Amino acid sequence: MHQNKRKAILVFAILVAPVILLRLATAAYPIGQTIWLSMTDTHLFESEHAFVGLDNYRNLFADPEFRSILGFSLVFIVASTLLEIFFGLLIASLLNTKFKGRFLARTINLLPWAIPTIVAAYAFQWLLDDQFGMFSHWISQFTGMRPSVMSSALNARITLILVNVWKNASFMAIIFLAGLQGVPQELYEAARVDGAGPLTRFFKITIPMLMPLLITMGMFFLIWQLTNFDLVYGLTSGGPGTATTIVPLNIFHEGLIFFKFGYASAISVILMVFVAVLGLVGVWQFRRFDY
Amino acid sequence: MACTRRKFMKSTAQATFAGTASAGFFLSGCNKKDSSNKVKLGVSGFSADAYRKLIDELGFTDKTGIEVEVVLRPKTTNELLMQMASSIQAGTSPYDILDFEDSIAMSLSRAGWLAPLDDLISQDVWDDFTPALMKMTKDWDQYKGQTFRIHHNFELCYWWYRKDWFDSKGIAVPKTWDDVSAMGKVFTDKAAGIWASEEGLIKNCNLSVYLEWITRQAGGNPYQAGPELQAALRYIHDLMFKHDVMNPSCIQKNYDQQNNDYIADRVAFMRQWPFFYDVTRQHKKWFNEDKVVCGLPPVGPAGAASSTYACGWGWGIPKTAPRYDQACELLKFLISVENSPKLLKYSNWFLNARHSVLNAAGEDGLVKYLKMYLDAGIVTTRPFHSRRYTEAVSKIENIASAYLTNQITLADAMKSTRKKMDLL
């Protein structure tokens, strides 16, 4: 019996070891190395590097530019996710109704999501151009004014969020559509018999039934968008000033353009903590609702 | 047939062994050195055809027995920097010889990744350099007493204007900053989307180019964060918001957008690199000589001698180049006094301020403008930050962009710039 147990443990170890080794090499080592680097002043141009403790973190939080980047990153992910959920639900509800050409509408809905983000970013840069942009042209036709969307910090931020929502809401909609199709029709029929109107049915049946999906997708998009890079890089380059710079773009600049590996690692660790906290909130939500 | 535990263990072990063996085989392939004897010359896409042609027609391979492969390097500075950083750290290089710009030169030389070239440059090559090119070489191509790059190209910030518009209004082109400030009333028509001037000022080295240009006209170097930078920032801000000369939305425009606006008859004058000369001539239906005339830039507070600056691209050899010796031969061939003027036949990309090149260039096209600027004595060198140029550019662009979109005051911008530059 004792020998059998040892054998089982050995088999278990042999089978699990490759996966553990893989995760150690691809996750644990890079994370450990990043945390270590974040406490050094490593710069690729310098031959000597020193341990600086928490100096990089202190410098980061003392820098108003970084605080502003962190603040906008939060606004960006929260506003984008809420709007994507809102529009995703709206589109999914529309696509779930019966009408002619529904199949075509569902296909067209996916187009923004299918366009590579960097392509969409450059396309919007032109669409919003104050001289040649399609949007600027329409607005000037109606109002006689040529809006300079990207030259104000607030407008550039709003534009970035809206383009992000346009890009991702369609994917959200398809997931919600699958969820909507899983809601038993009997519930709606019973509610209708009880005199519930469309809004009541939506809030009392649709939303509760979709709640697991809403939380899953909400958490997923919050984390996913925290690592958004290509849209910002292509559309605004983080400008004007640093108004639309988000944390991943900041890491890219500090680490891969300025080669300040120590400083960039400190920002990466902060980003990792952010993602971990969001993940924990997600897990807590799942437990709370007992899904 | 049932799968017993023994069979499962056996097949798993076999699969693991096969996987490990094939991964080893694959990785050993990755580690193989590039055994090709062809020297890899890394160039930008727009100059590749000219390079292939000149290598072929000038008979480098016939004379030396060394074959050359022209390969495309990444278009942007950032991508190239990333590529070079990772490959040099790995002890190799995708290129044996590379054609690269100023900002790359600063980063690669300060990192110690470029081979010294002084032994490859003969005295007759040095004698061929004009004082303007020599000054630029000292500032941009030499570090700690060693030359790490040789310019093949001498690009000035040119000032382009619509002669037909000025003629039809019966006014003279602006000669000073004050004259420029008065141009808003003459040309700007916001409703029609027409502006007296425009620039491509998006971050990523576009804004910094203009800021360096204007700060030079004010008599300083933006990276020193002195009163000249303050004067330059105030001047640009006034052009945008006080005098309605420059379109404020150009803060998020790139060079393509800027050029398009000019070609769409929406801009009366602007600064632009020499490539604009070719861009305008590609629009055959629109183009005529009076629409794209190059004039002397308006003079700033520092006087005419600092009206514009030169910069350029050049060749360097990474220290880790796999075919280092052959790369040296190719470099010597390209920079020789005999071949340098011949390169010009293939592209304006090789127009520079060497005596042999200028003598062979004639008086047509861009050469006319280059000589006009040199004769006028208005060309200075591009300002730079000696230690951390790329980072300094980025920091100063962030601050200037914030100020020019009214996110911060001028006082805050200057305070912030000084602080950031001190930290570099």
The reply to whether residue B202 touches residue A45, judged by beta carbons under 8 angstroms, is no
Distance from the A213 Cα atom to the nearest Cα atom in chain B, whole angstroms: 37
Q: Which residue has the tokens 């350029």?
A: B312
Coil/strand/helix, residue A40: strand
Domains of chain B as residue ranges with CATH: 5-154+312-381 (3.40.190.10), 158-306+388-423 (3.40.190.10)
pLDDT tens-digit map of B342-400: 999 898 899 999 999 999 988 878 899 999 999 999 999 899 887 888 899 999 999 99
Binding-face residues of B in 76-115 toward A, CB within 8 A: 78, 81-82, 85, 89, 107, 110-112
pLDDT at B32 over 80: no
Burial A179-205 (b: 16+ CB within 10 A, else e): bbeeeeeeebeebeeeebeeeebeeeb
Query: What's the pLDDT score for residue A139?
Result: 83
B404 in reach of chain A (CB within 8 A): yes
Q: What is the mean pLDDT of chain B?
A: 91
Binding-face residues of B in 212-251 toward A, CB within 8 A: 247-251
Burial of B144 (0-12, 13-18, 19+ CB in 10 A): exposed
Query: What's the pLDDT score for residue B3?
Result: 65
- Nearest CA to A164 out of A235, A108, A268, A89 is that of A235
The reply to whether residue A236 touches residue B252, judged by beta carbons under 8 angstroms, is yes
Query: What's the pLDDT score for residue B33?
Result: 52
Query: What's the pLDDT score for residue B424?
Result: 85
Distance from the B398 Cα atom to the nearest Cα atom in chain A, whole angstroms: 4
- Tell me the average pLDDT across B60-85: 91
Cα–Cα–Cα angle for A87, A91, A92, rounded to 5 degrees: 115
B283 in reach of chain A (CB within 8 A): no
The sign of the dihedral angle between the CA atoms of B33, B35, B39, B41 is negative
pLDDT-based confidence at residue B23 (cuts at 50, 70, 90): low
The reply to whether residue B191 touches residue A144, judged by beta carbons under 8 angstroms, is yes
Residue among B16, B253, B390 minimizing CB distance to A258: B390
- Tell me the average pLDDT across B81-96: 91
Q: Which residue has the higher pLDDT, B36 or B224?
A: B224
Distance from the A165 Cα atom to the nearest Cα atom in chain B, whole angstroms: 21
CATH superfamily of A64-289: MetI-like (1.10.3720.10)
pLDDT-based confidence at residue B28 (cuts at 50, 70, 90): low
- Tell me the average pLDDT across B263-287: 95
Low-confidence ranges of chain A (pLDDT < 50): 291
Query: What's the pLDDT score for residue A181?
Result: 92
Domain ranges of chain A: 64-289
Cα–Cα–Cα angle for A122, A127, A130, rounded to 5 degrees: 115
The sign of the dihedral angle between the CA atoms of A150, A155, A157, A159 is negative
Residue A254 DSSP class: I
pLDDT tens-digit map of B128-163: 999 989 999 998 999 999 999 999 999 999 999 999
Query: What's the pLDDT score for residue A79?
Result: 96
The reply to whether residue B204 touches residue A146, judged by beta carbons under 8 angstroms, is no
Binding-face residues of A in 242-281 toward B, CB within 8 A: 242-243, 253, 256-260
